Amino acid sequence: MFLLALLIGSACRSGNSTDKDAFVAEAEYVQIVLFHLAHRCESCNAVEYETEWLLEQEYGEDVLSGNIKFVPLNFQDENAKKAARLLQASGQSLYVIKGDSITDLTSAAFMYASTHPEYYRDALRKALDQYLK
């Protein structure tokens, strides 16, 4: 369990993006892409925390196998700007993506993650389950 938490934690860190953290257009695996700013608000931190929690608790095997990747991107970094243009993201946002299918969970994520996390987790779970079929 510690190893799983360590792997998910390192995959979900909020530091500078690396190739491992990069958004891949039309990937065959599910990507949870979180655009954030360098200075993070409470809601943005809650979205990342609740996403990591759900992945660790319910989708650990999918994360370890590469079926799901969490990709936090600093909106202000050059390597994130290309992804933002492709996804038409204009600010802090959250997308669940597989191939050319995109589910925009921005409203649910930023409205509920810090105040009613179960609502956000339910919306994220529904999107993930849809893509993992």
Tell me what the mean pLDDT of segment 63-83 comes to: 92
- The mean pLDDT value for 8-24 works out to 53
Tokens of 69: 């990747």
pLDDT tens track for 36-54? 988 888 999 999 999 999 9
The domain made up of 26-132 has a fold known as: Glutaredoxin (3.40.30)
Tell me the residue length of the chain. 133
For 80, the enclosing helix (H) or strand (E) is helix 78-87
The string of pLDDT tens digits covering residues 107-127 is 999 999 999 999 999 999 999
Report the SS3 class of residue 60.
helix
pLDDT band at 16 (very low <50, low <70, confident <90, very high): very low
Banded model confidence at residue 89, pLDDT cuts 50, 70, 90: very high
Query: In the chain, where are the structural domains located?
Result: 26-132
Interatomic CA distance for residues 122 and 118, integer angstroms: 6
Residue 12 has pLDDT above 80, yes or no: no
**Strands in 1-129 per DSSP E:** 30-36, 68-74, 93-98, 101-104
